[in-house]
Amino acid sequence: MEKIALATKHEKEKLLAPIFQSKLGWTIELSNIDTDLFGTFSGDVARDKSPKETAIAKAKAAASELGIKKGLASEGTIGPHPQIPFITADVEWVAYVDLEKEIALAEYTISTDITAVQQVWNQDLDLAKLIHSADLPNHALIAKATNQNEFWSAKGLRTQQEIEAAISAFQRLEWPVDLILESDYRAMHSPSRQRNIVEAANKLAERLATHCPSCDFLGYGLVGYEYGLPCSGCGEISPQAISGDRLGCLVCPQVQTVSRNLTAIDPANCQICNP
- The percentage of residues in the chain with a pLDDT greater than 70, rounded to a whole number, is 100
Task: Count structural domains, the chain.
Answer: 3
The answer to whether residues 180 and 118 touch, using CB atoms and an 8 Å cutoff, is yes
Question: With 90 as the cut, is the pLDDT of residue 142 above it?
Answer: yes
**What pLDDT sits at residue 1?**
78
CATH code for the domain of 31: 3.90.950
The string of pLDDT tens digits covering residues 109-120 is: 999 999 999 999
Q: What is the mean pLDDT of the chain?
A: 96
Q: Binning pLDDT at 50, 70 and 90, where does residue 275 land?
A: confident
Q: Binning pLDDT at 50, 70 and 90, where does residue 68 land?
A: very high
Beta-sheet strand order (sheet of 103-111): 27-30, 3-6, 70-80, 88-98, 103-111
**What pLDDT sits at residue 43?**
87
Domain holding 256, by residue range, is 221-269
The answer to whether position 214 is within a domain reads no
State which amino acid sits at residue 220: Y
The string of pLDDT tens digits covering residues 231-245 is: 998 999 999 999 999
The answer to whether position 275 is within a domain reads no
**What pLDDT sits at residue 80?**
93
Among 200, 153, 155, 188, which Cα is nearest to 173's?
153
The answer to whether position 215 is within a domain reads no
